[in-house]
Every structure is written in C-alpha cells, then in structure tokens.
Amino acid sequence: PVQACPGCGPPTGQTLTSEVAQADFILYGTFSNAKPDPKEPGTSKGTTDMTIEAVIKPHPLVKDKKVFTIPRYVRPDPNPTKYMVFFNVVNGDVDPYRGVAVAANSKLPEYVKGALEVKSKDSATRLRFFFDHLESPDLEISGDAYNEFAFAEYKDVVELAPTLPADTILKWLKDPNTRASRYGLYGLFIGHCGKPEHAKEIRQLLDDPDRKFSSGLDGMVMGYILLDKKAGYEYLMNLVSNPENE
C-alpha cells in the first residue's frame, strides 16, 4: 500500500498560520523615528517606532497602543512601505524576529486574520479558505495558500475537491500565466470536481506542444485518469514506456 499525494510539490518552510501560532504577538503598520545605537553603529541595535495600523495577534504589551517602539534599528526605506512584524517575548524581552514587507494595498493582514478564524474549523472549511486565495496577485498570500495544500493530507483534499468550481480551475490550467508549480494541484482538483467531458480538455493541455509539464505532470495525469480511467491509464502507460520521454 502507498499513501496518495495531494499533487503539490513539497512544502517550503512553515505556513503563516503555523508562524502566527508560534508568535506571541503580531503587528501591522509603518516604521518611523529609527535610532541606531551610538555605541554600535552599523548594526541592527537601536530602536524604531512602529505606528500600529492593525493588531493581527494581540498581547498585553501592545493593548490600546497606537505606537510601539521596537528594540531594533530598522534602516529607513527610501520607498516607505508597510510591515507585518512577528514578536516573541522571552523573560520580558521583546524580540521582533520576523518582518514581512508588504505593499500599501496588500490584503495580507486580512488574509492572516481569516486564516486564524478558520484555524480550528474542519479541514474542508479551512482548505476552501486557502483555495480562494491560490491565485491572489499578492505572492505572499498565494504562496502561503499553496503551502497549506502542500502540507494537507490527500484525504482532506479529496473531501474538499468535489465542491470546487471546475470552470475556475480549468481557466487557471489554460491560463499561460499560471505558475507551472500549480499544474499538479489544479490537475488533481479537476479530476475530483470535473465532469467526464473535461477529460478531453485535460488531454488537449497534455498534448499541447507549447506546454512542458516538467512540473505538475503527475497531478495532471492523476486528474486525467480520474476523469477517464481507460484513456488516462493508456496515456500513462504510453508515457512511461517510451524511453525517449523524460
């Protein structure tokens, strides 16, 4: 017996939900009034004020505060941006151990809050939230949403997949701008939520000479076989029996 794969590549690092769980508190806002430590110039020692626009994860240390002084010198950016900063508190000392720079119009704070809201819900509800963010224009969000599926168990993906919009997934698969790393997951999705007639569309994509499925071929073939067992299995056997194929 073998354990089925959800069609993703291996996860890269932790998900934001996991990181949020480990942080003592998280703030979102802008930096100002950066002061380096005069005794150790050129280092990160010093202080920087953070104007709080949103408290992603609360803590008594920042309750009712509009500005929080970070015990670290953050060099002023000529192109001011916003940051989401993760903090730990160890023996009373505050450690801002990670900062994520985000565009002024980024939806990352809302995304993280939403991820926290579904954290304790059933797997299908959780994964549906992340499905809705897989093609977010914000790379931090779309990358994290994909990572959630990379960590997910196949049985959880199977529970969710039949409820997904097949037309949306086919649109993603046909879009030349879709990242190659997504084909495997999307191919598997369509295998579970698509109709038998969608098998021809998957086969057209597989046979398209302008597409090279060096990444995601496994999930595309999985989807094809799920939609048309006979034709899909014949395709797979022909693929692996030809010594000229990669």
Is the pLDDT at 77 greater than 90? The verdict is no
Q: What's the pLDDT score for residue 81? A: 83
Q: What's the pLDDT score for residue 222? A: 93
Which among 18, 46, 27 is positioned nearest to 86, based on CA atoms?
27
pLDDT digit string, tens, across residues 171-227:
999 998 898 889 999 999 999 999 999 999 999 999 988 877 777 888 999 999 999
Q: How far lies 3's CA from each of 16, 17, 113, 170, 176, in Å? A: 26, 25, 33, 26, 31
Q: What is the pTM of this model?
A: 0.82
Cβ burial of 35 (10 Å; 0-12, 13-18, 19+) is exposed
Residue written as tokens 């939520």? Answer: 193
Which among 149, 151, 114 is positioned nearest to 131, based on CA atoms?
149
Specify whether the CB–CB gap between 33 and 45 falls below 8 A: no
